[in-house]
């Protein structure tokens, strides 16, 4: 009976509308909703977890390092500057610590925005190249950027384009194949990430390569996260409150 009602609701209202209703109702269920920012999510059982001891070590080491690191990068007076060193709660210190812990030399970020993630990924690292992708150029955003033109040197490059597009991805495959770390923090629009799953399957195996995903607790990201069969760990407790997932894609991106 329950399943019948669920399916009937899904068919008659559609998942997108149900998510809007869920989001609206979720704002009404707390006694105290004086919280700066909260989003609906779901808790779910994890018996199909694919975590490995190596990933647990990586998150344990990176979290310890992140707790002791103060990031001193980007501009101090922009609207989002105040989030840079919130730890845990934001992902900046954790992504920086993961990059350091794995001694990343080639990093790809998908979703540059104001550049805080980009600068956090390279802060304190030597001989690193961060290639950050966006569909908008850093100095053409409607918001102020943390970058100065001088930031773009041999350690930082922005490439404009949509990696979910087959031709664009194939033209950039060498850069992605070289990456030790990929941080994907793009639109989370229930479509892009699924298209990227198809692209990540094209990556060659590499001694060590990790994929960090932002917002894995968003309702529209849970199906995507659950479909990933490569070794993975939910590192939200030390990352972004909206969900930070880390996937070991050294042996390819395994996806259901
Ligand atoms: C949440 S912001 C990124 C935040 C940043 N990584 C950080 O940690 O501060 C998302 C960015 O994804 C970009 N974006 C949207 N669609 C994209 C696409 N198809 N490919 C690459 N970037 C995209 C948006 O323009 C936006 O700048």
Considering the domain architecture, whether residues 53 and 171 belong to the same structural domain is answered as yes
Domain count, the chain: 2
Quote the ligand 1 centre to 187 CA distance (angstroms).
Answer: 6
In a domain, 253, yes or no: no
Considering the domain architecture, whether residues 98 and 209 belong to the same structural domain is answered as yes
Distance (Å, whole) CA 218 – CA 247: 17
- Domain with 56 in it: 48-248
CATH of the domain at 214: 3.40.50.150
The best mutation among 74, 113, 143, 160 to test binding of ligand 1, ranked by most ligand atoms within 8 Å of the C-beta, falls on: 113
In a domain, 256, yes or no: no
The answer to whether residue 1 scores a pLDDT higher than 80 is: no
Considering the domain architecture, whether residues 155 and 181 belong to the same structural domain is answered as yes
Alpha-helix runs per DSSP H in 123-235: 166-171, 173-178, 192-200, 219-227
Backbone phi and psi for residue 39, each to the nearest 5 degrees, phi listed first: -130, 150
Residue 233 pLDDT class (50, 70, 90 cuts): very high
The answer to whether residue 69 scores a pLDDT higher than 90 is: yes
Backbone phi and psi for residue 112, each to the nearest 5 degrees, phi listed first: -80, -50
Considering the domain architecture, whether residues 201 and 218 belong to the same structural domain is answered as yes
DSSP state of 95: H
Distance (Å, whole) CA 120 – CA 142: 21
pTM, entire model: 0.97
The best mutation among 99, 166, 187 to test binding of ligand 1, ranked by most ligand atoms within 8 Å of the C-beta, falls on: 187
Q: Please name the helix (run of DSSP H) or strand (run of DSSP E) that holds residue 139, with its range, or none.
A: none
In this predicted model, what pLDDT tens digit does every residue of 105-153 receive, in sequence order?
Answer: 999 999 999 999 999 999 999 999 999 999 999 999 999 999 999 999 9
Residue 193 Cβ inside 6 Å of ligand 1? The answer reads: no
Q: Nearest residue CA, atom 7 of ligand 1?
A: 117
pLDDT, residue 94, reads 98
Do 12 and 26 meet the contact criterion of CB atoms below 8 Å apart?
no
Q: Which numbered atom of ligand 1 lies nearest the CA of 192?
A: 19
- Which of 2 and 16 is assigned the larger pLDDT? 16
Angle separating helix axes 219-227 and 192-200, nearest 10 degrees: 20
Considering the domain architecture, whether residues 28 and 138 belong to the same structural domain is answered as no
Considering the domain architecture, whether residues 86 and 200 belong to the same structural domain is answered as yes
Chain mean pLDDT for the chain: 97
Considering the domain architecture, whether residues 202 and 113 belong to the same structural domain is answered as yes
* Dihedral angle, C-alpha 193, 256, 214, 132, nearest 10 °: -50
Task: Tell me the percentage of the chain whose pLDDT exceeds 90.
Answer: 97
For residues 201-214, one letter each, b for 16 or more C-beta atoms within 10 angstroms of the residue's C-beta and e for the rest, the string is eebeebeebbbbbb
Strands 181-184 and 129-134: unpaired
Residue 192 Cβ inside 6 Å of ligand 1? The answer reads: yes
In this predicted model, what pLDDT tens digit does every residue of 182-219 receive, in sequence order?
Answer: 999 999 999 999 999 999 999 999 999 999 999 999 99
Residue 119 Cβ inside 6 Å of ligand 1? The answer reads: no
Q: Nearest residue CA, atom 21 of ligand 1?
A: 134
Quote the ligand 1 centre to 236 CA distance (angstroms).
Answer: 19
Considering the domain architecture, whether residues 28 and 55 belong to the same structural domain is answered as no
Considering the domain architecture, whether residues 186 and 64 belong to the same structural domain is answered as yes
pLDDT, residue 2, reads 87
Considering the domain architecture, whether residues 62 and 145 belong to the same structural domain is answered as yes
Residue 135 Cβ inside 6 Å of ligand 1? The answer reads: yes
Residue 158 Cβ inside 6 Å of ligand 1? The answer reads: no
């Amino acid at each position: 009976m329950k399943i019948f009602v669920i399916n009937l609701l899904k068919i008659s209202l559609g998942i997108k509308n149900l998510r809007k209703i869920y989001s609206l109702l979720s704002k009404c269920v707390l006694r105290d909703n004086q919280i700066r920012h909260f989003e609906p999510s779901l808790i779910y059982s994890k018996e199909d977890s694919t975590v490995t001891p190596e990933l647990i070590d990586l998150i344990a080491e990176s979290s310890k390092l992140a707790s002791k690191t103060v990031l001193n990068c980007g501009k101090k007076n922009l609207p989002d500057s105040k989030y840079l060193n919130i730890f845990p709660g934001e992902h900046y210190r954790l992504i920086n610590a993961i990059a350091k812990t794995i001694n990343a030399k080639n990093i790809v970020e998908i979703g540059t925005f104001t550049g805080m993630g980009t600068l956090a990924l390279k802060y304190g690292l030597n001989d690193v190249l961060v290639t950050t992708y966006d569909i908008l150029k850093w100095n053409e955003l409607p918001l102020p950027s943390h970058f100065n033109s001088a930031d773009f040197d041999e350690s930082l490059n922005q490439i404009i384009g949509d990696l979910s597009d087959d031709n664009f991805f194939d033209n950039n495959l060498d850069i992605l194949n070289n990456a030790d770390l990929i941080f994907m923090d793009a639109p989370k629009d229930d479509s892009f990430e699924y298209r990227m799953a198809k692209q990540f399957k094209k990556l060659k195996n590499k001694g060590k390569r990790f994929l960090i995903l932002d917002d894995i607790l968003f309702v529209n990201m849970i199906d995507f996260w659950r479909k990933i069969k490569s070794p993975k760990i939910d590192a939200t407790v030390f990352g972004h409150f909206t969900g930070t997932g880390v996937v070991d894609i050294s042996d390819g991106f395994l996806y259901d």
